[in-house]
Amino acid sequence: MSLATVSQTGTSAPVYVIKAIADTWLKQSTASASTLTETQRQLIKSGTVLTISSYSPVPNNHLRVSLGKNAQGQQLFFQGRNTWYAYRPDVQILRDGKVILAGSDPDLNAPVYVLKAIASTWLKQNTGQASALSNSQRQLLNANTVLPISSYALATNNHLRVALGKDQQGKQVFFNGLTTWYVYRPDVQILRDGKVLVIGSERRQINTQGLELLKSFEGLRLTAYRDAVGVWTIGYGTTTGVRPGMRITQSQAEALLRQDLLRFETAVNNLVKVPLTDNQFSALVSFTYNVGERALGTSTLLRLLNQGNYRGAANEFLRWNKAGGRVLAGLTRRRNAERTLFLR
């Protein structure tokens, strides 16, 4: 994402500001404010408005902003610095008083998933025949229809279970008041950032050792919390659709984990071009669950692995032990455990 530089000079120049819509922190990294020193963070009360000279979306659902000049032409800064990070859901960017980037807008760095019909087919409320369902339980999709989705999972009878997402205007997509549907798998494709994902009926899954490793490091939290980089999280590390105050049961956490794992298992299947043992596959799924598909896809680890350099790829695990530029003991232990499983 390129930096948006905004001029503050001249009488006709637009004025850009950042506005806090909740009590929040300006920070020197995207890490959780609780892990930073007082010189690395600045509390901003709800309603605070600050002039900015530039802004840019960055990973972990944050914005990087450069403070501008006040009405008297004096440079704004805190702790002697004018460049800071802010958690996106807590702020808005305004241009001449109009909101151009809302805290509720989706993370621009997140991958975009869509469902595409490659033949005329039905969205259905179960995996039975569409002819046996009432009109309120089915929705016709013409060939080449494309719909945003927030999640997908394999279901029985060669079907997919999909949760519809939001359109480009940020409005929730639904049919008959419902967002969760089943669709016959051979009639559709799932695309990630415009690329078709291979979703087999007999998909490869993380093994028991990998699942136990992942669970042990993610931990189980039944109430929503902000992780080390400030992202709202629940269950075994689920971040999609999590909101402050959200609570779930342990069985719901297990279901969310199974749903999330499909995405990361599919990512490893699609990105890795060399043979993998079950332990190697499972270590990569745990790694990708933690750092994200985009990080794996651009990593030296993947490049070395696809060159057939398994040992070199294994050593790359150890480099991914930082959050917000700081080495974390928990991440160091996790990377060592994943490397050990990969080499077993």
Are the beta carbons of 203 and 178 closer than 8 angstroms?
no
Give the start-end residues of each E strand in 77-173: 83-87, 91-95, 98-101, 113-117, 121-124, 138-141, 146-155, 159-164
Catalytic residue among 38, 202, 212, 218: 218
Query: Residue 182, CB half-sphere, CA atoms under 13 Å: how many?
Result: 16
How far the first Cα of the chain sits from its last, in Å, is 39
Is 254 a known active-site residue? no
Query: Residue 12, CB half-sphere, CA atoms under 13 Å: how many?
Result: 0
Q: Each residue of 110-138: b (16+ CB within 10 Å) or e? A: eeebebbbeeebbbbbbeeeeeeeeeebb
Q: Using CA of residue 224, residue 228, residue 230, residue 233, what is the dihedral sign?
A: negative
- Count, residues in the chain: 344
Are the beta carbons of 218 and 285 closer than 8 angstroms?
no
CA distances from 108 to 63, 85, 162, 270, 289 (A): 10, 15, 22, 22, 19
CA-to-CA distance for 81 and 311, rounded, in angstroms?
A: 42
Residue 44 phi/psi, 5° resolution? -120, 120
Angle 278-291/329-343 helices, nearest 10 degrees? 160
Instruction: Show which residues are catalytic.
Output: 218
